[in-house]
Amino acid sequence: MTESLTVRDNRTGAEYEIPIVDGTIKAADLGQIKLNDEEPGLATYDPGFVNTASCRSSITYIDGEKGILEYRGYPIEQLAEKSNFLEVAYLLIHGDLPSKEQYEAWVHEITFHTFVHENVKGFMQGFRYDAHPMGMLMASVGALSTFYPESSRIDDPDNRHIQIVRMIAKMPTLGAWSFRHAQGKPYVYPDNELSYAENFLSMLFKMSETKYAADPRIAKALDVLFILHADHEQNCSTNAVRSVGSSQVDPYSAVAAGIGALFGPLHGGANEAVLKMLRRIGTVENIPAFIEGVKNGEERLMGFGHRVYKNFDPRAKIIKKACDDVFEVTGVNPLLAVAKELEKIALEDEYFIKRKLYPNVDFYSGLIYEALEFPPEMFTVLFAIGRAPGWLAQWLELVQDKEQKIARPKQIYTGPRTLDFVSAEERWA
């Protein structure tokens, strides 16, 4: 079998042979297909990059048809069941599971970088009382570059390492403080005797008690949710991190861009949108009318559908199980009945079957977050904390990849040309 593509340009009759490598052709190879030497070569048009690979990556494997997700080759189901978030973070960043010494050193490093400079607290306090916590997180992560100006030395491996540690360590602190801010409560400093998830819960919920003791089932569920969100190959926010990172800016600025992308309702903001949707539907009786609205194009069933998964999102299955664990502690969220019935009806409906629309990671996660007493605005912050190791692993891969270039897509220009400028004075006369 010849690994190449023969292309015949019917405009000119010319034939070209283009190599196929790893199931792809190089878009640049199409540039040789031209009408004449004056015209630009053929390019591809791919809004939303639906069929364009932007990089080679050995971090996350997804088979959307079969519903498979693996980090560095390990199935998500096994990691969620047997590992913990910091071990998964190590795996994503370093490419391999840690030895005992490596694991202990890693956990120690992350734990001892959880504090932020006092001035960070100062400027976070300057946000409006009702600031969205994602806006606060995005701004404060971006601002970390000003506290660590050496982070711009992205060619130095030791320097890269310490910034990665800092970011994973400080995200919960910044996320928790943005939550406390909206409630007018004092910010809680990290407690380095606690695990990653317990410490986060302590910074979120601690009041006058000397030590905050999270329910271990809640801490475990949160840790699992972080694992499920830790990476998802070239999604919108990861692409934002890579795109911004390709300018060789420091990792805080690149990750801040990722947080901005995640904020949107079609991406990480979907879990917030799901909960608002479920509240709007309110009761099981209102579901058929809502589904009709979706089919008529007046509504979108948030938490359903995925660019890659054309089968069950494997993360949604694990989250459904985590729901049961959390509800054992908090009591069942009454919206669970609405969500389950909505899923049942949608999975039997021709509209959703035909389009291969299944529940995604965001369909049930919001219910857990609400049961944990997070306001919907905080949901995407939780997603961002979980996704940080993935963004950083992708950033690390990018900056070491010799094939990468500054991201700079082409466009098809559709505007006017060579107009003669008429001054304002003449136009308005």
User: 223, 231, 250, 362: which one is catalytic?
Assistant: 362
Binding string, 38-67, against ligand CMC, x = CB under 6 A? ------------------------------
Q: Which stretch binds ligand CMC (CB under 6 A): 197-205, 280-288, 300-308, 322-330?
A: 300-308
Judge whether 117 counts as a catalytic residue.
Answer: no
Cβ neighbourhood burial of 102 (10 Å; 0-12, 13-18, 19+): middle
Q: Which stretch binds ligand CMC (CB under 6 A): 57-65, 188-196, 241-249, 303-311?
A: 303-311
Candidates 94, 117, 217, 267: give the one binding ligand CMC (CB under 6 A). Answer: 267
User: Which one among 59, 89, 227, 270 touches ligand CMC, defined by CB under 6 A?
Assistant: 270
Catalytic annotation present for 267: yes
Residue 266 contacts ligand CMC per CB under 6 A = yes
Contact 239, 54 (CB under 8 A): yes
Residue 222, H or E segment:
helix 216-229
- Contact, 388 vs 262, CB < 8 A? no
Q: What are the Cα distances from residue 132, in Å, to 139, 226, 302, 371?
A: 11, 21, 20, 20
Q: Is residue 310 within the footprint of ligand CMC (CB under 6 A)?
A: no
- Selected range binding ligand CMC among 191-199, 280-288, 296-304, 337-345, rule: CB under 6 A: 296-304
Residue 275 in contact with ligand CMC, rule: CB under 6 A: no
Closest CB to ligand CMC: residue number: 305
Contacts of 369 (CB under 8 A, 6+ apart): 271, 275, 376, 378, 379, 382
For ligand CMC, the closer CB: 151 or 360: 360
Asked if 336 interacts with ligand CMC (CB under 6 A), we say no
Q: Which of 94, 117, 161, 267 is catalytic?
A: 267
Nearer to ligand CMC among residue 165 and residue 228 (C-beta):
228
The span of 34-42, 115-123, 130-138, 297-305 binding ligand CMC (CB under 6 A) equals 297-305
Closest C-alpha among 329, 351, 332 to residue 340 = 332
Residue closer to ligand CMC by CB (options 163, 237) is: 237
Place of tokens 């910044």: 174
Residue among 179, 226, 263, 304 that touches ligand CMC (CB under 6 A): 304
Which CB, 190 or 366, lies closer to ligand CMC?
366
- Give Cβ neighbours of residue 357 (< 8 Å, ≥ 6 apart): 301, 304, 305, 346, 351
Options 232, 242, 320, 387; binder of ligand CMC; rule CB under 6 A: 232
| CA 186 centroid distance within chain | 29
Q: Which of 223, 250, 306, 313 is catalytic?
A: 306
Residue 109 to residues 113, 124, 237, Cα–Cα distance (Å): 6, 25, 26
353 binds ligand CMC (CB under 6 A): no
- Max distance between CA atoms of the chain, in angstroms, equals 80
- Say what the alpha-carbon torsion angle 318, 309, 86, 101 is, to the nearest 10 degrees: 110
24 DSSP β-pair partners: 21
Q: How far is the CB of 260 from ligand CMC (least distance, A)?
A: 13
Question: How many alpha carbons lie under 13 Å from residue 46 in its C-beta half-sphere?
Answer: 10
One-letter identity of residue 268: G
For this structure, is 181 an active site residue? no
Stretch that binds ligand CMC, among 2-10, 189-197, 324-332, 360-368 (CB under 6 A): 360-368
Which of 256, 115, 212, 258 lies closest to 173, judged by CA? 115
Binding site for ligand CMC (CB under 6 A): 232, 235, 266-268, 270, 294, 300-307, 355, 357, 360-362
Catalytic residues: 267, 306, 362
